[in-house]
Chain A
């Protein structure tokens, strides 16, 4: 039988988390550019500090403009709640440190954004958190790497730049069998293409800087809590949530907040103490992007597919790693998991290696040469001549980057114009 329906994705992308401003009637979300908020009396003040009443205290912990973005993201992902952060890296850090501390361990996909890899490989070990990296295409490898001190499993929906697609259901099942939450970075797919919580993930992180903001203007990140993981089933493992916390007079987050335990702790400890809060002006900018997410993503995906097909047929190119192409190793998985398309970031190999890559980059006119993805404009980077220019070919190989690897982030331009631009640049690169 049919019953009441939840509001649809595109409706929530426009309205989620927001009511017209009660004082002015402003339809657009106002920017509450205020650090702090007046208390009506001392009882209200002290009880808000003690998480005993709703309301705002200080914009590092919560801000009305930022809250609209948070609630909207949580609705779009199907989560119980969200916390916005200053960047995607801050979101990953917040998710991890809400669950793990010195002596703890993470199992992570080895196909990760470079910044995440740096955090897990070099920075978190200084604070006593170790990571084992595994092949994302081998769900059993995640289970095999689990140790008694493991606290979470981490992976990306579609990895950057080689587009390994994660079988979220299979990895979630392995994580749950081991009593662990699966934390998923869904930056490159956005909730328009994939909602990881519906496939068994427990926590989703985003760099909002990319497709959600969508215009290369605003940095931000978010952690979304699915609210389904039962922390109290393993009280000795998830002590940040299941044991009394002296920072709030013995508050036991899992007992008191139930399904909201993780996200409340993330806000009330992680934002409070690490302080990587999102400014209200940034939240406003990101909300503008979110309102048109579906329209933009559909165009991003369609353009990317045309460009990938063009490059796959070009004699100067090989190894086009776009999952929509039939020869991609994850083509079937992507078709099942990402029916709207696998995103708009992919890479290819240019014949002629490092020198050809350099020529290509310098010959492109519409593609912008920069270190970002997910802009409305098309972007390109050639790691061997930019971010990894100091490495010789052997060192590049160790880092998993070939001399001819070129990464594209396909924007919203006319696809034929992009093809013309690439066609000219590829011709010059082979001279």
Chain B
């Protein structure tokens, strides 16, 4: 569905009916990605009768607008997005950069965010300098770094439970669709985010950190340190899985996400 935030056309997969008592599920994608990374999860919550949106941040996917420069800007934008859709109570999940935005949102929005799931999240979310450098010039190498470092060893040879889909190439094609400069803008925002622990301490939502055991971008040990700061937080580690757990281990991620947001 399309709607407006800050006067810009914004897209979110999913549906808001207002016909359910449960908080609206809000899914936030990672750097240079879009709503389609959540396709099975979005469809599941719809199937289960939940109101759900998998939103495209400005300049991502099918949303217009300019890229947001910081994680704080993304969180503020998400708040305005909730306002635009009349969402008073949310169960928010974010992946990677989207997890930082979701964390910052939860730290600001108080009880408006009732449940929080952070997938592939750690503080700080430092980005390797070579990746930033290559992203700055929109090099294909930056996209390769994203998808090859972003997946666990197992995913590189495949064995996807979604029949016929290559995990690595699917992620690569998604990132290739990003507008010039967007990957760098997103990675820069992740790298520059320093307010995460302060936001984490303010989170009132029941929180779940979902990690991949082979995640090289946001290692499990760093995620556990973050979990220690969030007042009510559980940590789940998916075995034999890298950073992009929604496509690498969709069924395990599904179960944990449903538990986290229910």
Contact = CB atoms under 8 A, between A and B. Distances in A.
Contact of A81 (B148, B161, B165): B165
Contacts of A258: 34-36, 39, 61, 173-174, 177
Given A5-B148, A17-B159, A52-B43, A81 B251 contact: no
Contacts of B145: 3-4
Interface string A79-110: 11111100000000000000000000000000
Nearest to A69: B164
Given A50-B43, A52-B44, A66-B163, A6 B157 contact: no
B43 A256 contact: yes
B236 interface: no
Given A4-B148, A54-B251, A75-B158, A259 B177 contact: yes
B166 A74 contact: yes
Chain A to chain B: the 8 pairs with minimum beta-carbon distance, closest first = A258-B36, A70-B164, A62-B163, A259-B173, A4-B148, A52-B43, A227-B173, A67-B163
Interface in B115-169: 130, 134, 141, 144-145, 148-149, 154, 156-166, 168-169
B248 to A, nearest CB: 11
Nearest to A228: B173
B46 interface: yes
B42 A54 contact: no
A263 interface: yes
Given A3-B141, A15-B157, A257-B39, A54 B173 contact: no
B251 A260 contact: no
19 contacts: A5-B144, A6-B144, A6-B148, A6-B168, A15-B158, A17-B166, A47-B47, A47-B48, A50-B43, A51-B40, A51-B43, A52-B47, A53-B251, A61-B163, A67-B163, A79-B169, A259-B177, A260-B165, A260-B170
A305 interface: no
B166 A81 contact: yes
B163 A267 contact: yes
B67 interface: no
A19 B169 contact: no
A358 interface: no
A75 B36 contact: no
Interface in B21-54: 34-36, 39-40, 42-44, 46-48
A7 interface: yes
Contacts of B254: 53-54
Contacts of A52: 40, 43-44, 46-47
A263 B36 contact: no
Given A1-B141, A17-B158, A18-B159, A256 B62 contact: no
Nearest to B141: A3
A410 B246 CA distance: 46
Contact of B36 (A17, A61, A83, A256): A256
A352 interface: no
Contact of A256 (B13, B44, B157): B13
B170 A19 contact: no
A72 B158 contact: yes
Contacts of B159: 17-19, 68, 71
Contacts of A191: none
A255 to B, nearest CB: 7
Nearest to A259: B173
Given A4-B148, A11-B157, 7 more contacts: A5-B144, A17-B159, A54-B254, A62-B163, A255-B13, A258-B36, A263-B164
Given A3-B141, A51-B43, A19 B157 contact: yes
B10 to A, nearest CB: 13
Nearest to A226: B173
B95 to A, nearest CB: 15
A263 B165 contact: yes
Interface string A225-256: 01110101000000000000000000000011
A288 to B, nearest CB: 18
A78 interface: yes
B164 A82 contact: yes
B130 A1 contact: yes
A18 B154 CA distance: 9
A3 B251 contact: no
Contacts of A54: 40, 161-162, 250-251, 254
A308 B82 CA distance: 69
B36 A259 contact: yes
Contact of B39 (A1, A16, A256): A256
A72 to B, nearest CB: 7
A415 interface: no
B61 to A, nearest CB: 7
A102 to B, nearest CB: 28
A71 B177 contact: no
